[in-house]
Structure 1
Amino acid sequence: MNLPQTIFFDAVGTLFDVRGTVGEIYAQFARQAGVRVDPQQLNTAFIQSFRTAPRAAFANASPQALLRLEYEWWRAVACQSFETAGALSGLEDFDAFFQPLFTYFETAAPWILYPETLKSLERVKALGIETAIISNFDSRLYAVLQALELDSWFQSITLSTQIGAAKPDPAIFEAALEKHRVLPTQAWHVGDSWTEDYAGATAAGLRGVWLNRKGAQPDLGAQAMVAARLEISDLAALEGILQAQS
């Protein structure tokens, strides 16, 4: 197999991650508002709310409408998280509480860059391969990448909220491929989610690379995919795989 022309990367959990947990950050903001809530319980509630929420994908929304839809989507997830954790009643004006919390996540403060990210991107670039992002995050990702000094590394950014389709839907991969004018067989996608990144990319015809930092077990419902998977434990391992293809 030849080197790919383009490698797409997931964002959160792949290039960078939350500093601590979302529950800890939510609980910190709640304390500032005079509400005490257990961070671990709140994080469990957040994960449940996030996973059961409808996909954050808004087709044909104007830029102004998109920002409103993104805000309302995350507000609903956060509101449900606090309600499940039994702390919503203390936050009487939830909009006033949530606005600065929402804005906080577009700064560098709540994020931590994986130590191998920059060097790995540099090595991919040195091989003449274009790099890009496919993410189910929202428009704040542009500000986050800039804050983390990652924005100059990517030729394109494809977001579910802007495309109207979220990973693992093939449509978001197709939209990203079109930006680079490459065939699925000419592109790889690297991400930490077995379902959204690896299985989604593979189903769309790309070469999926599963970034399995925690040694998780894949979905055994796809035996052929499991047997043929390309798996790495960190981004640094990507270089060895690429060298083997050259």
Structure 2
Amino acid sequence: MKPSVIFLDAVGTLFGVRGTVGEIYSHFAAQSGVQVDPKLLNQAFVESFFAAPKFAFPGVAPPDLPAQELLWWKAVAARAFQQVGAFSDFTDFDAFFQILFDHFATPEPWFVYPEVPQVLQKWQLQGIQLGVISNFDSRLHPVLTALELSDYFETVTSSTAVGSAKPDAQVFAAALAKHPVTANGVWHIGDSWQDDYQGAEQAGLRGVWLNRAGKSPPGPTHTEIADLSRLALTSEQ
């Protein structure tokens, strides 16, 4: 059956990073006089990111969230630069990272996957409500606007605003509460098998794993697609 609501993840699903995070970080580091190998830095970033606590701050008041988000990302970046032995080369890491952090709130480091606008428009014309569920922060709103994606979505739910991160069922419940529907007949699409597919299934939604890279699934998967256009016909049935 055609879903009443389709939720989508953000990074890796709607849009991705131009190049790698390591390349962007090393470029800005060079402007501060610090030379770092982008490949080594990217690997260090990935390890630091996945070693960090979940990106959610339960109990933090909304006005205080941006400061907490900045601190979380700064800690991830600092560990990455420490791992490659470059952290001590900065004369003012805080000032460097503020510039870097602000950069990711602009459209420059991002690109929209080619099929996304057309598919979103098609679903929208079919009367399907669209929403975003993302382990992102308050920068998600300006990024969606800058990438000309915000008009497709009725709701945007981020982990920091909810105080719970995917795959926790609480973030899916918070997104569902914004729509007059139950979990039955609602889909969630994302590129993370654990956070998006498995998290959605456990929360009672239909999970759809977006496997752009053609990876082997780490577990049983009922619905897997290579890009969003592969689901366009399914949504019409």
- In the superposition, the TM-score normalised over structure 1's length comes to 0.94
Q: Which amino acid aligns with 1:155?
A: E
How far is the alpha carbon of 1:92 from its aligned partner?
2.4
8 Å Cα contact 1:61/1:162 also seen in 2:
no
Q: Secondary structure at the match of 1:29?
A: helix
5+ residue gaps, structure 2, are none
- Partner Cα separation in structure 1 for residue 28 and residue 75 of structure 2: 17
8 Å Cα contact 2:191/2:209 also seen in 1:
yes
Matches within 5 A, 1:117-136: 117-136=116-135
Q: Secondary structure at the match of 2:157?
A: strand
- Partner Cα separation in structure 2 for residue 154 and residue 61 of structure 1: 26
Q: Secondary structure at the match of 1:96?
A: helix
- Partner Cα separation in structure 2 for residue 60 and residue 154 of structure 1: 27
Q: Which residue of 2 aligns with 1:49?
A: 48
Number of residue pairs matched by the alignment = 237
5+ residue gaps, structure 1, are 221-225
Matches within 5 A, 1:26-175: 26-175=25-174
Q: Which amino acid aligns with 1:233?
A: A
What whole-Å deviation, never above 9, does each CA across 1:197-242 have from its counterpart, x for those lacking one? 000000101000110001111123xxxxx1x510110011111221
Q: Does 1:230 align with 2:230?
A: no
What whole-Å deviation, never above 9, does each CA across 1:114-173 have from its counterpart, x for those lacking one? 010100101111211000000001000001001101111100001100101100000100
- Partner Cα separation in structure 1 for residue 135 and residue 19 of structure 2: 20
Deviation beyond 3 Å, 4+ runs, structure 1: none
How far is the alpha carbon of 1:6 from its aligned partner?
0.4
Q: Which residue of 2 aligns with 1:198?
A: 197
Q: Which residue of 1 aligns with 2:212?
A: 213
- In the superposition, the TM-score normalised over structure 2's length comes to 0.98
